[in-house]
Amino acid sequence: MNAFSWIFVGFLVVGVMVQWWLLRRQIRSVAAHRGQVPEAFADRITLEAHQKAADYTLARVGARKLELLLTPLILLAWTLGGGLNWLDNTLLSLGLTPLWHGVALVFAVVLVGGLLELPFSLYQTFVIENRFGFNRMTLAQYVRDLAMQLALGLVLGLPLVAVILWLMMRAGDYWWLWAWLVWMGFMLLMLWAFPVLIAPLFNKFTPLEDKALKARLESLLERCGFHSNGMFVMDGSKRSAHGNAYFTGFGRNKRIVFYDTLLKGLAPEEVEAVLAHELGHFKRHHVRANLLFSAVMSLAGLALLGWLSTQAWFYQGLGVERIGSAQALSLFMLVSPVFTFFLQPLMAMLSRRHEFQADEFAARQADAHALISGLVKMYRDNASTLTPDPLYSAFYHSHPPAAVRIRHLQAQ
């Protein structure tokens, strides 16, 4: 171990302690308010629904506590425990070229990581979601989804990793700049392709058929100056009872998507208000801002990786003997979340600011009271807690707490 080893361990320990503290705060806050519906929601949410949301939140947080205990141990096994180093040396016996050895190493790290996370995913889906009546996915559907994700990872991910590793090996000191251009091109391609090529592999999308609702929404789109490739209903109910709405894609591939579960639970004026909120993200250029933020962060990350990949202490401090592109990339993927965790409040704050701005736009283009009633129904139907701990929410929640958001809308 060297000085960087201790820095890494220090950040890891502090991060785990902060996360554990936040989880305890969330548990205390939700449990303390379980017996009474907050006054702002007393006329809309029953005590039974409020207690279901509290119990659902506590169950999820409890599972997260177990995950928080095991995940750092897995990370230490990968790094200081010699797991990545062992995997690297084992793959050498295959006699692959340096490039394809690197691709195999990165893919193996991702695959093993996914397998280690699988028990948590299965417990969340088939225990917690089942217990609270949200899961509608069969085990066969779950396996099919995993197989499809693996196939997409091979088709899309392997070529991308191969190109980036080739650039790391052959493009000189500024390989990270070329890799960033490749990464941004890939991201834009995925934004374009997701609505029409990838999402339909997992769900069925049918044009919105309710003529009265469609006319109402088209009028909203016209008022907002938004042009899309259509409004679609997604069969989200085949996997979950949770409801949502979103728009995706860019250029001619922009699509507005409603979960079928959402349309069943909201009145037409509430659907209009929810769509106005989503359009607010577009009109306030949040998609562009998020893409720019992602571009800046990825450029900074790749530049940092470019420097770290040349530093022997980086490898030695994390338990890896051989210096190489794939080793550096694998280590960076494994350990960077330990350090970036402390940026989460900033990213959550920016996201919540966007949500407030989209709500303000929706209140001007539709009925603010309809948006409030629609949001309350979504909180109820999704069993979202109305009483999160403020600090926990500041770290983890991309949307403002329910009470804060409703007060903000009432002030419009």
pLDDT, tens digit, 9 for 90 and up, residues 253-294: 678 899 999 999 899 999 999 999 999 998 898 888 999 999
pLDDT tens track for 56-93? 999 999 999 999 999 999 999 999 999 999 999 999 99
pLDDT of residue 243: 86
Residue 46: count other Cβ atoms within 10 Å of its Cβ.
Answer: 12
Cα-Cα end-to-end distance for the chain: 57
Q: Which two tokens stand for residue 113?
A: 């990581």
The least confident of 1-15, 24-38, 242-256, 365-379 is 242-256
Q: Which of 156-170, 198-212, 249-263, 387-401 has the lowest average pLDDT?
A: 249-263
Confirm whether 260 is a catalytic residue. no
Can 88 be counted among the known catalytic residues? no
Check: CB of residue 251 under 8 Å from CB of residue 189. Answer: no
Out of 278, 355, 360, 389, which one is annotated catalytic? 278
The burial class, CB within 10 Å (0-12 / 13-18 / 19+), for 91 is middle
Q: Is 298 helix (H, G, I), strand (E, B) or coil?
A: helix
pLDDT digits 0-9 by tens, 142-193: 999 999 999 999 999 999 999 999 999 999 999 999 999 999 999 999 888 8
> Can you give the pTM of this predicted structure?
0.89
Structure-token pair, residue 133: 């009546």
Mean pLDDT of the chain, nearest integer:
93
* Position 402, amino acid: A
pLDDT tens-digit readout, 330-351: 999 999 999 999 999 999 999 9
CB 245 within 8 A of CB 259: yes
Catalytic residue among 88, 129, 359, 360: 359
The span from the CA of 202 to the CA of 145, in Å, is 7
Going by the DSSP 8-state scheme, the letter that residue 135 receives in this structure is B
Q: For the chain, what are the domain ranges?
A: 1-412
Give the distance from CA 379 to its chain's centroid: 19
Task: Copy the structure tokens of residue 65.
Answer: 């506590």
| The two structure tokens encoding residue 138 | 């069969």
